[in-house]
Structure 1
Amino acid sequence: MESARNEALEAWMKEHRYSSNSLARAVNSELEALTGKLGTYDGRHVREWRSGRVRWPNTATRKVLADLSGKSPVDLGFVPRRRISPAAAPQEDPMYRRTLVAGAVTTAIAAAAPGTTPTRKIGMSDVGRLQQKFTEVIASDHKRGGQRDIEHLAGHLADTALNLQNSGIATQRVRSSLYATAASFRSSAMWAAIDGRRFKDAIAHMREAQALAELSGDQAIKFRIWSHAGTLYRHMGRPADARAANDVARNLHITRRDPMFASLGMARQMAIQGVSHELRSLPRTFDQAREAMNHASTDTPRPVWLLAFWDDAELHSLALSAYLAAGDWTTAEYHAHQCLASLRPHMQRSRAIATSRLAQAQLAQGDTDTATHTAMTVKPEAATQHPRVSRMLQEFGAALRATAPGSTNVRTWTEHTAAWRAHP
């Protein structure tokens, strides 16, 4: 007998924009949090769920899918192997589900004892495990920024941190750290949406991240969220809102405690000045950002998201963006070369963006040969899969055709981009 397709699961995946592969990754991550061992699912397994070939996954997987979706396995279209009474189905009982999250046999035994209530103490070790996942999200962002699966995973992990709040008792320090961790994940979902030019989604993430940051009282994550908000509004063509949001970040007292935060806030202000065509302000703002960076102590503990990207290369990258927007092509090219010369190897997304901007600056100066060669060095995966890079290269191609119609460079570029489409 042919298996009936799991239309409920398919509908939920479509609604939440999960592919088979991205759902498999999310399930694997949650299984690791649940059992201590990373799951081994891939897209093939998810397709078996969707097709109905696998009608009732194992207990841990059903638990993870229920947490991911907020639905019971039956509501997700899965069919139990045999009909059982509610009293005999502990995996669907909320008390049982909390013990499964804890992953502790002793808690499960306590829950089964008459007249007892399971109580789990949440500690900084639980926070630490979530923060390790945050480090992995940051690494994925620098490698493949803007992808929906990064956004979805970060959003899901934010929910995981919040769910942990309700799974036991904790000190105020632990609870504040959990809120800060949830805000960190939500801000990464926001950034992935910004980088993918999904601005409506980014705004939704921003609002939730701001509320979580307030609950945490963490100045560093507040800075990140408001600084990202400035970038969001800048990309949306709203420089006044961008400046206001970035000013909130720059006025937090963490910028007075740590010049590294002040430096980043000033550099992003420079990018906003570029969009506003405040060309005369740019050299002074750049110098202020660099001076603050030079004054920052190397011994000060800082969050992983800041350490992972903020350095001299990123300062030049923001200067490149500012001068390109302001129309100073020569200075933009200078900052592009400085950025590319000092980028750390893991900054693959940033290298593709800086290279694309360099090609635009060279083309604007009339050097079509060099500009075409530069644009062709962008790796195909970034050119075709990163929304911001793809858009910049499309704009480059249009400008190249307008600048040198019918030229050898136009034909070369056309053939090059056709090869990208033929070999995604």
Structure 2
Amino acid sequence: MDAIRNTVLEAWMNEHGYSSNSLADAVNGAVADLTGRIGGLDGSSVRAWKAGRVTWPKSATRKALEAVTGLPPVALGFVPRGRPSSISPAPPQQKEPDMKRRTLVGGIAAAAAAAAAPGTASPRRIGMSDVNRLNKRFAEIIASDHRHGGQPRIEEQAAALAEEALNLQNAGSATQRVRNSLYASGAAFRSSAMWAAIDGRRYDVAKAHMREAQALAEMSGDQAIKFRIWSHAGTMYRHMGRPADAIAANDVARNLHITRRDPLFASLGLARQGATLGLTGDTAAVRHSLGCARDALERAEPDLDRPVWMTAVLTGAELETLALSAYLRLGDFTQAEAHAHRSLTLLRPQMRRDRAINTVRLARAQLGQGAADTATRTAMKVPADVATRHPRVTRMLQEFGTALRAAPSGKSAVQTWNQHTTTWWNAA
């Protein structure tokens, strides 16, 4: 007998915005919550459910699926073993009955979802459209961060949007999938507030955002946002000059199962670990970590659906940026300069903050090789508004000026630099 397609499950997935891969990930996470071991499903497993090749998943999978959807398996079109399906396929030539069957199936899915909602009244239904609206605002926050960096205004906007995501939890009924997504959105906004505070060197505030973001991420079960928060924590401790804490935080991020499922996350974790190891002076460890990061990047599939903040990782710009930071800390100025040029080539034009930071790092690498005049011309390429309004860039330029004045061959360059920075601040 031919397999009967589970159109009830398909209808539910379409209504709630799930792909085969994303549903598999959600159920794997729920299996881990239930059993302590991550599930082994992938997109092909869910496609087998939809095609009717698997009509009754294993017990742990059924429980996890119910936790994700809020519906018992039979309400999703699954049929217990030994029980005949109540949905019979229409003969190919009978197009009108087939259309009626699809309409009926869609009605079953909608009725089942309604039955699962708490209460008998008709409260507002919070759905994926609300989550998608928040995700659009998150993309705007990321774009602002790339352009302007760690401004208090961006931090405040991100924190306010995190509160908006949490307020939606109490605004009406929702599936567990939607509630998890709202917690993930709240965690994402808090992580952006955290990053803005780190970038602005407001570390005590960043720690407060971090604690809030970590709690929300745990409630969401979202591996990608957990990775982002712990990875940001590693960067924060690296900027604070605390390599042991930075390595520990990076290890938490690198041990999440998303790094085993997607090499791009593994690449970012390894690259950030390499940048941190630059603080320790261990050249061999830095090279090993960055080499593994490059290998993982080459294995990463380019077409997977990933968070918007991973864009620079996929292009290789983030790897080059972190390698630049590592080699600059090691005092290997030739290698640092090579990575600086590559990073500036790969960075997208709108990433003005990162471009300014890497331009200053390039100038430091050139100065470290005794090329004071070249280094000064490079540092002067930083736009005035970024140089004077971004705390991290301002500090880096001040440090460059100090190093330039201490350089034995930098006397003429110092005069040029002083005149240029005076013009910057007069225009600010």
- TM > 0.5: yes
Task: Give 1:135 deviation, angstroms.
Answer: 0.4
Task: Give 1:307 deviation, angstroms.
Answer: 2.2
The answer to whether the aligner puts 1:273 opposite 2:281 as a matched pair is: no
Q: What does 1:78-89 align with in structure 2 at a 5 Å threshold?
A: none
Secondary structure at the aligned position of 1:194 is classed as: helix
The answer to whether the aligner puts 1:203 opposite 2:186 as a matched pair is: no
The whole-number CA distance in structure 2 between the counterparts of 1:276 and 1:310 is 27
Letter aligned with residue 208 of structure 2: A
231-240 or 299-308, which deviates more: 299-308
The whole-number CA distance in structure 2 between the counterparts of 1:307 and 1:316 is 14
Task: Give 1:415 deviation, angstroms.
Answer: 0.6
On the 8 A contact 1:376/1:416 being kept in 2, the answer is yes
On the 8 A contact 2:344/2:358 being kept in 1, the answer is yes
Q: How many residues align?
A: 309
Task: Give 1:308 deviation, angstroms.
Answer: 5.0
The whole-number CA distance in structure 2 between the counterparts of 1:313 and 1:420 is 28
191-200 or 282-291, which deviates more: 282-291
Which residue number in structure 1 is paired with residue 243 of structure 2? 239
* TM-score normalised over the length of structure 2: 0.70
Which residue number in structure 2 is paired with residue 175 of structure 1? 179
Letter aligned with residue 205 of structure 1: H
Which residue among 256, 261, 264 is the counterpart of 1:257?
261
Which residue number in structure 2 is paired with residue 330 of structure 1? 334
The whole-number CA distance in structure 2 between the counterparts of 1:267 and 1:393 is 25
* TM-score normalised over the length of structure 1: 0.71
Q: What does 1:176-191 align with in structure 2 at a 5 Å threshold?
A: 176-191=180-195
Q: Deviations over 1:18-61 (max 9, x none)?
A: xxxxxxxxxxxxxxxxxxxxxxxxxxxxxxxxxxxxxxxxxxxx
Which residue among 365, 370, 388 is the counterpart of 1:384?
388
Q: What does 1:238-387 align with in structure 2 at a 5 Å threshold?
A: 238-307=242-311, 310-387=314-391
The whole-number CA distance in structure 1 between the counterparts of 2:171 and 2:317 is 43
Q: What does 1:408-423 align with in structure 2 at a 5 Å threshold?
A: 408-423=412-427
Larger radius of gyration: 2
The whole-number CA distance in structure 1 between the counterparts of 2:178 and 2:355 is 37
Secondary structure at the aligned position of 2:381 is classed as: coil
The whole-number CA distance in structure 2 between the counterparts of 1:390 and 1:406 is 20
The whole-number CA distance in structure 1 between the counterparts of 2:197 and 2:299 is 33
On the 8 A contact 2:340/2:358 being kept in 1, the answer is yes
Task: Give 1:287 deviation, angstroms.
Answer: 1.5
On the 8 A contact 1:189/1:202 being kept in 2, the answer is yes
Task: Give 1:318 deviation, angstroms.
Answer: 0.3
Letter aligned with residue 342 of structure 2: Q
The whole-number CA distance in structure 2 between the counterparts of 1:298 and 1:378 is 32
Q: Deviations over 1:301-351 (max 9, x none)?
A: 111111255431221110000011111111111111111122211211111
Letter aligned with residue 346 of structure 1: Q
Letter aligned with residue 196 of structure 1: G
The whole-number CA distance in structure 2 between the counterparts of 1:127 and 1:242 is 32
280-289 or 409-418, which deviates more: 280-289
The whole-number CA distance in structure 2 between the counterparts of 1:297 and 1:257 is 11
Task: Give 1:252 deviation, angstroms.
Answer: 0.3
The whole-number CA distance in structure 2 between the counterparts of 1:320 and 1:282 is 11
Q: Deviations over 1:169-191 (max 9, x none)?
A: 11101000000000000000000
Letter aligned with residue 134 of structure 1: F
On the 8 A contact 1:264/1:310 being kept in 2, the answer is no
Secondary structure at the aligned position of 1:214 is classed as: helix
Which residue number in structure 2 is paired with residue 109 of structure 1? none
Task: Give 1:120 deviation, angstroms.
Answer: 1.0
Secondary structure at the aligned position of 1:349 is classed as: helix
Q: Which runs of 4+ in 1 moved over 6 A?
A: none
On the 8 A contact 1:404/1:410 being kept in 2, the answer is no
Task: Give 1:404 deviation, angstroms.
Answer: 4.3
Letter aligned with residue 359 of structure 2: T
Task: Give 1:299 deviation, angstroms.
Answer: 2.4
Task: Give 1:118 deviation, angstroms.
Answer: 7.3
Which residue number in structure 1 is paired with residue 402 of structure 2? 398
On the 8 A contact 2:266/2:293 being kept in 1, the answer is yes
The whole-number CA distance in structure 2 between the counterparts of 1:191 and 1:285 is 24
Letter aligned with residue 183 of structure 1: A
On the 8 A contact 1:187/1:225 being kept in 2, the answer is yes
Which residue number in structure 1 is paired with residue 106 of structure 2? none
Task: Give 1:283 deviation, angstroms.
Answer: 2.0
On the 8 A contact 2:315/2:346 being kept in 1, the answer is no
On the 8 A contact 1:270/1:282 being kept in 2, the answer is yes
Q: Note closer, same or farther for the CA distance 1:160–1:168 as it changes in structure 2 (3 Å cut).
A: same
The whole-number CA distance in structure 2 between the counterparts of 1:277 and 1:308 is 27
The whole-number CA distance in structure 2 between the counterparts of 1:416 and 1:339 is 25
Which residue number in structure 2 is paired with residue 20 of structure 1? none
Letter aligned with residue 148 of structure 1: P
